[in-house]
Structure 1
């Protein structure tokens, strides 16, 4: 779990996408997340976490539905939402926490 702590303890917003390859809504989010990452550049980070491979982490964060998107900054959860989101919404939220 210490590795997870390092991932989220950045002074830029970190968007975590909890997904699985067999969940259609999760897979649909992949191009959206690429757009968000491109738009944010070095002002934010997008990390995809496969729930099947990171079961303990998903349980610890009580991930119930996919995709679940969580934004952390400085190790603190700032925003959380389950279900598909569009790129513009996510970019807007990320930019709020980028300052």
Structure 2
């Protein structure tokens, strides 16, 4: 999912970037969270370089989860140039997810 360039940047650098970022907050013990990777791979294939996707383990990064009020997981947050454009808890299917992202970026 992440390319090497993405790994070198901090979370704040990534979400303030010109490229929109979809953040998937998850935990290893969360069964619904395991449904997201194939959906996110399909989304990345469809959107390519127009979207970066990163995964944040809420167990290892509780401060980030608290900052963005992640109460349920999986929890998806779309950022663009530091702005939180959209947030939703639960599994979102690929066609719906792509549509939401494209609509939010067009606003």
TM-score by length of 2: 0.84
Whole-Å separation in 2 of the counterparts to 1:17 and 1:75: 16
Q: Distance in 1 between matches of 2:69 and 2:102?
A: 26
> Which residues of structure 1 form unaligned runs of 5+?
none
| Alignment gaps of 5+ in structure 2 | 1-8
> What's 2:51 paired with?
44
The structure showing larger relative contact order (alpha-carbon pairs under 8 Å, at least 6 residues apart) is 1
Distance (whole Å) between structure 2 residues aligned to residue 12 and residue 90 of structure 1 = 17
Moved more, 89-98 or 32-41: 89-98
Name the structure 2 match of 1:55. Answer: 62
With normalisation by structure 1, the TM-score equals 0.90
Residue 4 of structure 1: how far off its partner (Å): 1.9
What is the distance in 1 between the residues matched to 2:32 and 2:76? 12
Please tell me whether residue 18 in structure 1 is matched to residue 25 in structure 2.
Answer: yes
Q: How many equivalent residue pairs?
A: 98
